[in-house]
């Protein structure tokens, strides 16, 4: 090896990126060449200096990143309306499309699209200037009567949906009623996820627990069902809950939901669960869920075929 | 990743990486979180080193792991998860660096009474280690490193960061960047030359 080749390969040498043979040749050359050895020493001290110069990750940044990621991932399931970039993910979780328009509302909106200019002209000069029609959806539910008059105007009779706000503790009876109603609102899966998420903190309440079990059994959205499962976790021993869980195992089409249901059912390792799992095993299509069942069975020391 | 308080203890403990990936693909948030935590510190360091700004590094972190979350089902185990993740991260960083470069050429140079000045010529935060001599040295050093980095191409920087600070092998770096080991070698070589001339009297 001559000095020119050596100088070219020294960088790779100090990073340990030369092949075994190349490294041998390099070491032989370095043994006999003071110039290249000095060069090697300089490269090594460069590496050391560079290591001191690494820009530091500010304290708390990692924790902030982790926390916000967790929030975003949860939000990806809970509230797609707030984050458009997560729309793609949301689609996976929403089995039925988010029907935010009720049929009745749709009719009303068509009608109002036609009449809006006359109904709200003075209300929002800014919107009018921008040529943007004010979104009528939250205000009107239905136009009852359209009545042209002699002077070329028109009289419209409509029903108004008034948006009202209420705040209070989760324990508050009114709030709880509203949440229970929202938990079964067929038009908005995001709303159901959020409501279930809040309700599950009060799972000790019988009515809430029934609502969760109901959501787990019947909700068309797997995000909602997963939330309901989470809320039921403290009740994995409750016979009624277990019945629903077993049903979920048999009929739920979402592997994530089935996996969680298995975990909850086997956590107390009751021997009768082995029989149920045994029965499920041959019918389970999803490889991951199957491996989870097998694992649970092994942990119960119930080998396949003994039940 | 879950908001519930009562997680079945240990359900994802003891899973190896492939099991964690499969669980995450099946919708297990806990598994996803554990997967993230195996890599996120290094991802954040890489982004921080490349972009030299905590806010930019934060953005890369969020965007990268959200992409992983959204696309985990398309991961088919035909490369390592590390390689797959780093492809996402380096692509985001490259985009970011390119945008930054555009901003720089657009707005960085301002006219002052003393002639044109680069207003981005700021030195990254120094270590607060209390030794003024060292702090001074480290400030000067960081300034020089910054300078050398801005003289590198985006690819040279990528290779240099991944080899020097992440300790990745050049072959793996080639895989991540969609290039050959040979090309990665050349990038490392040029990057080191540039560092050397910038840091001449420190070594
Ligand atoms: Zn020599």
Residue A276 pLDDT grade (very low, low, confident, very high; cuts 50, 70, 90) = confident
Higher pLDDT, A151 or B161: B161
pLDDT of residue A132: 38
Enumerate the residues of chain A whose CB falls inside 8 A of the CB of residue B136: none
Per the domain annotation, does B108 fall within a domain?
yes
Q: What percent of chain A has pLDDT over 70?
A: 70
Contact B199 A231 (CB under 8 A): no
The per-residue pLDDT for range A162-205, each reduced to its tens digit, is 667 778 888 788 888 888 888 887 777 788 888 888 888 877 78
Per the domain annotation, does B59 fall within a domain?
yes
- A135 by DSSP, 3-state: which? coil
Q: What are phi and psi of A304, to 5 degrees?
A: -55, 130
Give per-residue burial for A180-191: e unless 16+ CB within 10 Å, then b.
bebbbeeebbbb
Nearest partner of A203 among A178, A233, A169, A179, judged by Cα: A233
Q: What are phi and psi of A285, to 5 degrees?
A: -85, -35
- With a cut of 60, say whether residue A78 has pLDDT above it: no
CATH code assigned at B172: 1.10.1740.10
Q: Write down the pTM of the prediction.
A: 0.51
Per the domain annotation, does B5 fall within a domain?
no
Length of chain A: 307
Per the domain annotation, does B2 fall within a domain?
no
For B144, which residue in chain A has the nearest alpha carbon?
Answer: A53
pLDDT of residue A142: 58
- A12 by DSSP, 3-state: which? helix
The per-residue pLDDT for range A115-132, each reduced to its tens digit, is 333 333 333 343 333 333
Distance CA A236, CA B6 (A): 11
The residues facing A146 across adjacent strands are: A156
Per the domain annotation, does B191 fall within a domain?
yes
pLDDT of residue A106: 34
Per the domain annotation, does B134 fall within a domain?
yes
- With a cut of 80, say whether residue B112 has pLDDT above it: no
Distance CA B136, CA B139 (A): 5
Cα of A62 vs its chain's centroid, Å: 21
Specify whether the CB–CB gap between B64 and B42 falls below 8 A.
Answer: no
Per the domain annotation, does B35 fall within a domain?
yes
For A93, which residue in chain B has the nearest alpha carbon?
Answer: B27
Confirm or reject contact between A69 and chain B (CB < 8 A): yes
Distance CA B159, CA B165 (A): 10
Query: How many alpha carbons fall within 13 Å on the CB side of residue A84?
Result: 0
Which B-chain residues 23-52 have CB contacts (< 8 A) with chain A?
23, 25-29, 32-33, 36-37, 40-41, 44-45, 48-49, 52
Virtual torsion, Cα A79, A80, A86, A90, nearest 10 deg: 100
- With a cut of 50, say whether residue B128 has pLDDT above it: no
pLDDT of residue A177: 82
Distance CA A272, CA A2 (A): 77
Higher pLDDT, A53 or A32: A32
Distance CA A137, CA A75 (A): 24
Per the domain annotation, does B1 fall within a domain?
no
pLDDT of residue A19: 93
Counted domains in chain B? 1
Specify whether the CB–CB gap between A99 and A221 falls below 8 A.
Answer: no
Does the complex come out with an ipTM higher than 0.85? no
Q: Name the residue among B62, B145, B196 with its Cβ closest to that of A53.
A: B145
Distance CA B10, CA A296 (A): 13
Range of the domain at B165: 12-202
Residue A52 burial (CB count, 10 A): 14
């Amino acid at each position: 090896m001559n000095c020119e080749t050596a100088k070219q390969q020294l960088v790779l040498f100090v990073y340990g990126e030369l092949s075994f043979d190349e490294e041998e040749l390099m070491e032989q050359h370095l043994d006999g060449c003071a110039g290249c050895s000095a060069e090697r020493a300089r490269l090594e001290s460069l590496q050391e200096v560079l290591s001191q110069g690494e820009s530091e990750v500010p304290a708390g940044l990692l924790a902030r990143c982790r926390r916000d990621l967790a929030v975003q991932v949860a939000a990806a399931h809970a509230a797609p309306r707030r984050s458009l970039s997560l729309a793609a993910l949301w689609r996976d979780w929403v089995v039925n499309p988010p029907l935010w328009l009720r049929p009745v509302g749709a009719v009303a909106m068509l009608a109002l699209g036609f009449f809006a200019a006359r109904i709200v002209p003075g209300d929002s000069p800014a919107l009018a200037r921008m040529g943007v029609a004010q979104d009528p959806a939250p205000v009107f539910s239905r136009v009852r009567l359209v009545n042209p008059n002699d002077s070329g105007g028109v009289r419209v009779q409509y029903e108004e949906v008034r948006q009202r706000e209420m705040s209070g503790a989760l324990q508050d009876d009114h709030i709880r009623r509203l949440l229970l109603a929202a938990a079964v609102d067929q038009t908005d899966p995001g709303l159901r996820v959020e409501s279930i998420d809040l309700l599950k903190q009060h799972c000790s309440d019988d009515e809430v627990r029934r609502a969760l079990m109901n959501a787990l059994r019947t909700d068309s959205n797997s995000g909602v069902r997963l939330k309901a499962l989470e809320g039921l976790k403290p009740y994995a021993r409750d016979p009624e809950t277990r019945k629903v869980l077993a049903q979920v195992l048999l009929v739920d089409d979402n592997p994530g939901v089935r996996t969680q249901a298995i975990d909850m059912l086997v956590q107390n390792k009751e021997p009768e669960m082995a029989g149920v799992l045994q029965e499920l095993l041959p019918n389970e299509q999803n490889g991951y869920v199957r491996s989870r069942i097998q694992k649970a069975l092994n942990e119960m020391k119930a080998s396949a075929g003994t039940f | 990743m879950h908001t519930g308080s009562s997680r079945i203890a240990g359900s994802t403990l003891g899973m190896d990486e492939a099991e964690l990936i499969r669980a995450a693909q099946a919708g297990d948030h806990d598994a996803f979180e554990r997967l993230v935590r195996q890599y996120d510190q290094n991802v954040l360091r890489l982004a921080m080193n490349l972009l030299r700004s905590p806010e930019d590094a934060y953005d890369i972190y969020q965007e990268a792991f959200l992409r992983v979350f959204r696309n985990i089902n398309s991961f088919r185990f035909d490369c390592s998860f590390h390689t797959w993740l780093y492809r996402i991260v380096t692509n985001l960083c490259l985009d970011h660096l390119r945008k930054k470069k555009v901003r720089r050429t657009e707005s960085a140079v301002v006219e002052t009474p003393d002639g044109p000045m680069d207003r981005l010529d700021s030195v990254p935060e120094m270590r607060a280690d209390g030794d003024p001599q060292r702090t001074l040295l480290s400030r000067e050093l960081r300034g020089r490193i910054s300078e050398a980095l801005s003289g590198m191409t985006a690819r040279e920087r990528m290779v240099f960061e991944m080899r020097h600070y992440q300790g990745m092998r050049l072959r793996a770096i080639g895989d991540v960047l969609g290039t050959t080991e040979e090309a990665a070698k050349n990038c490392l070589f040029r990057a080191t030359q540039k560092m050397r001339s910038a840091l001449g009297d420190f070594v």
